[in-house]
Amino acid sequence: MTLALKYAARSDRGLHRSNNEDSVYAGPHLLAIADGMGGHAAGEVASKVVIAALAPLDEDVPGDDLLGKLHEAVVSGNNTIAELVEQDPDLEGMGTTLTAILFGGGRLGLVNIGDSRTYLLRDGQFNQITRDDSFVQSLLDEGRITAEEALTHPQRSLVLRALVGHEVIEPTLQVRETRTGDRYLLCSDGLSDVVGTEKLAETMKIPDRQACADKMIELALQGGGPDNVTVIVADVVDEEPQVTQAFESSSNRLQPVGPATPPARQPVAMPAKQPPQATLQQPSPTTNGKPKKRGRRIAITVAAVLVLLALAGAAIRYIAYTNYYVGVGDAGEISVFQGVRGTVLGVELHRKVEGSCAPGDNSSCKPLRVDELGTPNKTKANEGFPVNDLETARKTISTWRTEDQKADDCPTQPTTGTGTTTTTGPTGAPSFPAGDTQTSPNC
């Protein structure tokens, strides 16, 4: 029998972040999550660069040197970060955590740096098999706080070690045996900071991998979703080689996705390639180290493209976020948005700032819903009514609330025309067909 990995990966922006700085890769030999840091585009760039450096490891069946390959890829990614910072000083301070598994059948290599985690569920026992490089972990090691206190510590996100480019940092590396029935959980701190160990252990017992990953994301969002959250759930299974059905339809297999940064808040499943049910083949003999160089070139090219996309996304968001508009938010509530409506290259160009009751409004303020507005203001809201700043947006909502309250209080007269409709005049204000009775402006 051959041991293989079956897996499901999910990522979510969270409820309080405008972008997703997590990157993830899931393939038949490589599972990896990187949690970027540094603000603006920097965190996205760093996490994508490191994942791109690791991705070539998934191309071939790993040999015996699992840790050597992982270490080389991590150093390569860290060096690329250093080169990017040297070329663009504005990226100084960016970095990323990393937790990754290189699967070699009966063994796996595990690399970790920062506070992204890997857990193992084996024979009903659930344990964290990586150690956080964090300030809170150092307090735990010294016995200064308890595990319960660590969950709510104000500095629980302070990372002591990460891949930041300008420093030579040795990641933690380990080799572990694998067994049929093992289940691994890789996650960013957007999950582990919000969901307790007991709840994670309970959720890991959900038989279906995809349902398990879905539930992890759901729990993180129910806990407030303060950060980006990314998870991989992977099972070690026995797989019988099939030599008679050599031509398996590729349409039945999902392709690997990675690195990936879904822009929308709604969790998006990231399907990943499952290994075909056939005997694994060794790569053809080559000379002069060409496969290694080819993999290096691919990694550099992928990293460059991802960096450009991340920077472009940041520039688009910067331009967009200098604007405000009043529009329709969750449950039809009139809300204030920063940015402009729509997306570009998958990048959302807006974020909700507040609802129709501004912070500081008294408790009697009632949320204003779009279906409570008259036709003119309802149209403006549905299309997104642009304003110069937050204060103007608040005044606009107040005006709409007052105007449409007056409209509700005024007596209405039946129209005298038949078969007529209200149209919009050249100035954008409603014009009334002849024969219709208008409400008195003094009502």
- The pLDDT tens digits for 355-396 are 999 877 767 888 999 999 998 999 999 989 998 888 899 999
pLDDT, residue 39, reads: 61
In a 10 Å sphere around its CB, with 0-12 CB exposed, 13-18 middle and 19+ buried, how is residue 390 labelled? middle
* Interatomic CA distance for residues 19 and 5, integer angstroms: 30
Q: Please give the single-letter amino acid code of residue 218.
A: E
Within 88-193, residue ranges assigned H as helices are 135-141, 147-152, 189-192
Distances (CA, A) of 100 to 97, 193, 396: 10, 19, 50
* Interatomic CA distance for residues 70 and 67, integer angstroms: 5
- Tokens describing residue 132: 């956080």
Q: Which fold has domain 324-411?
A: Alpha-Beta Plaits (3.30.70)
Each residue's pLDDT tens digit, 392-442: 999 999 999 988 765 555 544 444 333 333 333 333 333 333 333 334 344
Nearest CA to 130 out of 163, 106, 99, 151 is that of: 99
Residues contacting 263, CB < 8 A, separation 6+: 13, 19, 20, 343, 346, 347, 348
* Interatomic CA distance for residues 313 and 309, integer angstroms: 6
Which part of the chain is CATH 3.30.70?
Answer: 324-411
Q: Which fold has domain 2-240+257-273+288-318?
A: Phosphatase 2c; domain 1 (3.60.40)
Specify which residues 328 forms β-bridges with: 334
Positive or negative torsion for Cα 388, 393, 398, 402:
positive
- Tokens describing residue 191: 């999950």
pLDDT, residue 72, reads: 95
Nearest CA to 103 out of 260, 270, 232 is that of: 232
Specify which residues 268 forms β-bridges with: 11
Each residue's pLDDT tens digit, 264-283: 333 333 433 333 333 333 33
Share above pLDDT 90 across residues of the chain, in percent, rounded to a whole number: 47
Specify which residues 343 forms β-bridges with: 348
> How sure is the predictor about 321, in pLDDT bands with cuts at 50, 70 and 90?
low
pLDDT, residue 270, reads: 45
208-219 average pLDDT score: 97
296-318 average pLDDT score: 57
Phi, psi of 151 (to 5 degrees): -65, -30
* Interatomic CA distance for residues 86 and 84, integer angstroms: 5
Q: Please give the single-letter amino acid code of residue 181.
A: G
DSSP-assigned letter for residue 436 = P
pLDDT surpasses 50 at 38: yes
Which part of the chain is CATH 3.60.40.10?
Answer: 2-240+257-273+288-318
pLDDT surpasses 60 at 55: yes
pLDDT, residue 404, reads: 73
Nearest CA to 337 out of 397, 267, 268 is that of: 397
* Interatomic CA distance for residues 232 and 103, integer angstroms: 14
Q: How many CB atoms lie within 10 A of CB 3?
A: 18
Residues contacting 190, CB < 8 A, separation 6+: 12, 14, 22, 35, 220, 225, 226, 227, 228, 229, 230
Query: Who wins on pLDDT, 32 or 37?
Result: 32
Q: How many helices (H) and strands (E) does the chain have?
A: 10, 18
| 8 Å CB contact between 93 and 38 | yes
- Tokens describing residue 245: 């059905």
Q: Which of 44-53, 175-184, 285-294, 343-352 has the lowest mean pLDDT?
A: 285-294
pLDDT, residue 348, reads: 63
List % helix, strand, coil for the chain (3-state, nearest 5). Answer: 35, 25, 40
- Tokens describing residue 152: 């709510």
